[in-house]
Chain A
Amino acid sequence: MTAALAGLRVIDLSASVSGAWCSRMLADFGAEVVVVEPPGGSPLRKLAPFDGEGRSLLAALLLANKRSAVLDLEQRRDQVKALELVRHADMLVSSAAPASLAASGLTYAEIAQPALIMCHITSHGMTGELRETPGNELTTAARSGWAFINGDAAREPLKPSGWQSSFCAGTAAYAAIMAALHHRNLHPGEGQEVDIAELEVMVSTFAPALLRGQYLGEPWRRRSESDITAGPVPVADGHFSLTISRAHFWRDAMNLLGLTDLAEDPKWEPGHYRAAHKEEYVGRVQEKMLGWKRMDLFEELAARRVIAGPVLYMDELANNPQLRERGFWVRAEGASEGPEYPGAPFKMSATPWALRGVAPEPGADTAAIRATPAAIGGGE
């Protein structure tokens, strides 16, 4: 089996989590990726969390599978070097806003290489009023509508955890590059520019709440309750989601919990009736759930094909039997020690994902790449 993107060469000039995730996916499916870091290293290397030696684990995740060249794109000499690298590349990833991109002399027009696929991943896109306005996960959560619906109605809105808009936008950017590549496959020589905004990808994922607000005449809001209809509730050893939709889920779950009167009365079968009268049962159901441990309840419900889920934490996921059986956690090829990395986001039968190497030190490949720009693929 060969990697899907074997033989494709990528220069990553980005300095963002979204750009780095996009090029990480390109690398994971077989492209040769050179990340260009400024003197002092990528800004990602300064972000928490850190290992015992002070190395950024965010950078370790995002720069894995790549090679590294340090170039100072504020210097003309290194701009020329970067241009030379790009001439040997199929794809270029950039996170620079229009003004700073122009200042580096690396616009698509200046590169003037029609077959190149150049992907911009920025907070707000390369055109429009916000093109030069900086953004981050927090402002994207605010502008996309997500913060307004996450959390408790009585408290402040919540951004999604961690780097969600960066991972979403990085994945969308990767997909956009693949779409552009498909076009180029059918029309050799026809590359193009792709423009991905983190904000807009999150607006796309917000679509159901947006239209819900329109059809209901008022915006969708944060929840004012925290019962089983909203999400996880307490059980004996943590929290557990019991999202009852179909009638048989209700019947089987209520019987399991020993609430046979609720299980057997047919008036509770329609979902809309349960929603309208939930105060009559949520307290009783949640009290029964407190007598259960998460995994016991999950296994019993799964055996009844009732949809449910325990809240699992990273120490549990690292040992999760499903993830273990499917080989989710991996070390870089050939490594027998060191931490395991989270693995493939999806499994492909003919062109599998692979973690071929851990993150390079900054500039690890500068000398080799400066000497022979055509060798960015590492094959010479």
Chain B
Amino acid sequence: MIQAQIRIMPKATILDPQGQTVLHALASLGFDAAHACRVGRFVTLDFHGIGREEAEREVEQACRRLLVNPNTESWRAEYLELPDPAGSGA
């Protein structure tokens, strides 16, 4: 099985108030070493019975059509080879 792990982040030019608030909350707890924080989204897609190249094409299309708003977000994906879950039949 191939698992695509897709990290979707607000673009650097986009204000991220959620990240700023998390940073302030961390600072209030004494975690003041970090000077910036941004909050994004993490999506996994599991593929059975297809190869890495096809999985990459699928992810590319999925990001373009739905998962990512190119106006405000950027993304990158990593691909892991994982054992098929028991009973998946793949």
Partners in one complex: no
Interface residues of A (CB under 8 A from B): none
